[in-house]
């Protein structure tokens, strides 16, 4: 079985409001899977269904090949977007409690907590109360508690909110190393920068529906529009050159630096065949850069949502 989680036609309504309509997903094992969408798209509802906090009206969810059942809770780790800790409880006690709720024995939980506390250099926090810690510090504890029971599937809902850039990077590294160890990860966000860096697969939800899903690189390929950014060093007459190019190709943007004889421009080609333009340019001067502009996840996100709304 190569999928950690499969959803088949999952729908959920709250009164008259539809939160999810007929969502089907396949989340491969040992990858980072991005669950994307604007606020209110249904991401949290879907995650809550996976965590068995709420249940679908119709449709089925399979975890590691089995129909989702209560005992799977111990194999899932969940860091919710709305997260917090008991303010007046001591850090260590609280972490132990949450770990035991996930099914770890007290001694095992203690051993693992020690390891993680040392790793994050927070060993001296054990007897502090949460209200004495900063938000970022509390977030670290939450992260540790989420991963402590070695879940097969980790679900992070906006994991970087509340972290400063340094600690956000630390957490990102931890997420990547967890993936290296074989954990499957669902990563829910509406921040696209982190998606580019982390996710291999994505699903885009919008207003309770799935707009697209698949491997991020495939999606990008599908969304690329044969636009290239080209730099050319040339001695020739720039005006006639531009006219010449304009007749053959669709130039969207151009810029000429007279001192350095540098001509930069953006061109949209009819297909992904670059041989014609390259041949032509090679005769005109020295090509010093030639880049295909690949749409960012953000572009795809906005483009798909807009075309759906239009």
Residue 97 within binding range of other proteins, rule CB under 8 A:
yes
By C-beta, is 45 or 203 nearer to other proteins?
Answer: 45
Residue 72 within binding range of other proteins, rule CB under 8 A:
no
Which of 43, 72, 83, 140 binds other proteins (CB under 8 A)? It is 83
For 35, the enclosing helix (H) or strand (E) is strand 32-36
Cβ neighbours of residue 127 closer than 8 Å, sequence gap 6 or more: 90, 91, 92
Residue 4 within binding range of other proteins, rule CB under 8 A:
no
**Which DSSP symbol is given to 210?**
E
Site for other proteins in 9-68 (CB under 8 A): 14-15, 48, 51-53
CA distance 159 to 187: 8
Given a contact cutoff of 8 angstroms between Cβ atoms, the answer to whether 228 and 287 are in contact is no
Smallest distance, Å, CB 211 to other proteins?
Answer: 25
By C-beta, is 100 or 293 nearer to other proteins?
Answer: 100
Which of 86, 134, 268, 272 binds other proteins (CB under 8 A)? It is 86
Q: What tokens does 65 get?
A: 């090949």
Cβ neighbours of residue 296 closer than 8 Å, sequence gap 6 or more: 192, 196
Residue 134 within binding range of other proteins, rule CB under 8 A:
no
By C-beta, is 85 or 199 nearer to other proteins?
Answer: 85
Stretch that binds other proteins, among 1-9, 81-89, 116-124, 180-188 (CB under 8 A): 81-89
Smallest distance, Å, CB 158 to other proteins?
Answer: 12
Residue 98 within binding range of other proteins, rule CB under 8 A:
yes
Residue 203 φ/ψ, nearest 5 degrees: -130, 135
By C-beta, is 78 or 117 nearer to other proteins?
Answer: 78
Q: What tokens does 10 get?
A: 């999952």
CA distance 174 to 53: 26
What SS3 class is residue 261? coil
Calculate the alpha carbon distances from 306 to 157, 217, 309 in Å: 24, 21, 5
By C-beta, is 48 or 112 nearer to other proteins?
Answer: 48
Site for other proteins in 194-213 (CB under 8 A): none
Residue 89 within binding range of other proteins, rule CB under 8 A:
yes
Stretch that binds other proteins, among 34-42, 99-107, 119-127, 200-208 (CB under 8 A): 99-107
Given a contact cutoff of 8 angstroms between Cβ atoms, the answer to whether 24 and 49 are in contact is no
Residue 282 within binding range of other proteins, rule CB under 8 A:
no
- Which residues in 105-225 belong to E strands, given as ranges? 153-157, 184-189, 201-206, 209-215
Stretch that binds other proteins, among 98-106, 185-193, 246-254, 297-305 (CB under 8 A): 98-106
Residue 102 within binding range of other proteins, rule CB under 8 A:
yes
Q: What is the largest CA-CA distance in the chain?
A: 79
SS (H, E, C) 165-199: HHHHHHHHHHHHHHHHCCCEEEEEECCHHHHHHHC
Sites of contact with other proteins (CB under 8 A)? 14-15, 48, 51-53, 70, 73, 76, 78, 80, 82-89, 97-98, 100-102, 142, 145
């Amino acid at each position: 079985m190569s999928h950690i989680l499969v959803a088949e036609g999952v729908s959920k309504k709250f009164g008259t409001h539809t939160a999810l309509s007929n969502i089907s997903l396949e989340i491969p094992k040992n990858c980072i899977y991005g669950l994307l969408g604007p606020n209110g798209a249904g991401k949290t509802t879907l995650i809550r269904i996976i965590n068995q906090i709420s249940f679908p009206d119709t449709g089925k969810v399979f975890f590691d090949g089995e129909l989702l059942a209560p005992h799977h809770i111990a194999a899932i780790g969940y860091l919710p977007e709305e997260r917090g800790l008991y303010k007046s409880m001591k850090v260590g006690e609280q972490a132990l409690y949450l770990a035991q709720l996930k099914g770890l024995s007290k001694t095992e939980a203690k051993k693992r907590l020690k390891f993680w506390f040392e790793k994050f250099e927070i060993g001296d926090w054990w007897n502090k109360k949460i209200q004495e810690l900063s938000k970022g510090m509390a977030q670290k504890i939450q992260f540790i508690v989420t991963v402590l029971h070695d879940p097969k599937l980790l679900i992070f809902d906006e994991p970087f909110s509340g972290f400063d850039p340094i600690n956000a990077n630390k957490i990102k590294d931890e997420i990547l190393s967890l993936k290296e160890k074989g954990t499957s990860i669902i990563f829910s966000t509406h921040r696209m920068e982190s998606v580019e860096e982390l996710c291999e697969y994505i699903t885009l939800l919008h207003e309770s529906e799935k707009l697209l899903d698949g491997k991020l690189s495939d999606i990008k390929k599908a969304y690329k529009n044969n636009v290239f950014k080209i730099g050319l060093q040339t001695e020739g007459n720039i005006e006639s050159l531009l006219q010449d190019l304009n007749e053959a190709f669709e130039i969207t943007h151009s810029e000429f630096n007279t001192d350095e004889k540098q001509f930069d421009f953006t061109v949209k080609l009819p297909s992904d065949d670059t041989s014609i333009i390259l041949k032509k340019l090679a005769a005109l001067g020295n090509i010093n850069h030639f880049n295909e502009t690949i749409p960012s996840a953000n572009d795809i996100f906005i483009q798909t949502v807009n075309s759906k709304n239009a």
